[in-house]
A and B are shown apart, each in its own frame.
Chain A
Amino acid sequence: MLCALPLTALARSIRLHIDEAQGEHRVVLQKFNEVLIVPLPDPVSDGFFKDLNTRLLAFLRLDNVRGIVLDLSSVEVMDHHDFEQINRVWQTTHLMGTPLVLAGLKPGVAAAWSLLNVKDHWATGALSVESAMEILAGNQAR
């Protein structure tokens, strides 16, 4: 049985989402205490990851960076394809000798990745950007 939903509200939200879904991916890098913080947009796109890899390589080569935090706190949906993209970012930064921490993974995303059975979860996780910074500070102290 089809259930009725408020159509005007749905139409309004569809309009908003069209803008969101077609919005340009923009890589924003914030540097704090020699740590690069990268907020991921929602939705996240292949174009964003491609630009991110390029920007990170340039930054790591030219600047003093002791760690990277990928801030996933805004991302509500990430499928296994997105997981692979993050894996590639990790491989890039790992080869450049820079640790990477995933911060703010939403419970829904974590649960979905678990059900998707993505293994080889190599990256360190943290509940927040602040916790991620502490982890990286602890790594440096060793």
Chain B
Amino acid sequence: MRILSPQDASLAVLIVKDIAHAAGLGGLKISALTTAVSELTTNVVKYAEHGLLTVQVLERKQLRGIEVIVEDRGPGIANIPLAMEDHVSTGGTLGLGLPGTKRMVDEFEIQSTLGSGTSVRIVKWS
């Protein structure tokens, strides 16, 4: 789904929550995952104006996981290692979104190119 507004970000969170619940993730894992999705989609609205979210259910042996990819064509991140440190922000915020997101999920990958955009992939396993 496209992320164009704060309402889209809220909708994305609710949809991911439903999918995670249907896939059998527990309450606290769903909370962590949906908070991570909220962080990423809020970043899209704030910094890139529009982006795309895709979600799918993964299976690995006995486990189910929820994979969420959030990508945009925004300005990109100049220094990813710096952006992954707590309290570093270019937007006047607390600067906890990306590093906090990484802590809340089991798998985290980020790619960004200045002037082209950013893509973040997260996975939360049951």
Contacts and interface: CB of A to CB of B under 8 A. Distances in A.
B97 interface: yes
Contacts of A17: 11, 14-15, 18
Contacts of A46: 6
A18 B56 CA distance: 20
B106 interface: no
Interface residues of A, number: 35
Contact of B104 (A3, A9, A14, A112): A112
A140 interface: no
Contact of A115 (B10, B59, B100): B100
21 contacts: A3-B58, A9-B22, A10-B19, A17-B14, A20-B10, A22-B11, A43-B10, A45-B6, A77-B17, A77-B31, A79-B39, A80-B96, A80-B100, A81-B39, A81-B97, A108-B31, A108-B32, A112-B32, A116-B97, A117-B96, A117-B100
Top 3 nearest A-B pairs (CB, nearest first) are A108-B31, A116-B100, A3-B57
Interface of B: 6-8, 10-11, 13-15, 17-19, 22-23, 27-28, 30-32, 34-35, 38-39, 42, 56-59, 64, 86, 93-94, 96-97, 99-100, 103-104
